[in-house]
Amino acid sequence: MQHQDPTDPTGVTNDYVNHRGHTNPQNATRARVRKSHAAIALRIAGATWAEIALSLGYPTPRQALVATEKALEKELDDTDRAHLRKLAGVRLDRLLRSVWAKALDDNCPEQMTAIARARDLIGDQRRLFGLDAPTEVVVHNPTQHEIERWVAQVVSVQSTVDEADIFEEEPRALPAR
pLDDT in tens, 134-157: 778 888 888 999 999 999 988 887
Reported as a single tens digit per residue, the pLDDT across 10-32 is: 555 544 455 566 555 567 778 88
According to the per-residue pLDDT averaged within each range, which of 63-72, 91-100, 124-133 is highest? 91-100
Q: Quick one: pLDDT at residue 125?
A: 93
Q: Quick one: pLDDT at residue 166?
A: 58
Q: Are 60 and 53 in contact (CB under 8 A)?
A: yes
Question: pTM for this one?
Answer: 0.37
Annotate 65-120 with three-state secondary structure.
HHHHHHHHHHHHHHCCHHHHHHHHHHHHHHHHHHHHHHHHCCCCCCHHHHHHHHHH
Instruction: List phi, psi (to 5°) of 162.
Output: -80, 180
The chain-wide mean pLDDT, for the chain, equals 80
Q: Quick one: pLDDT at residue 167?
A: 57
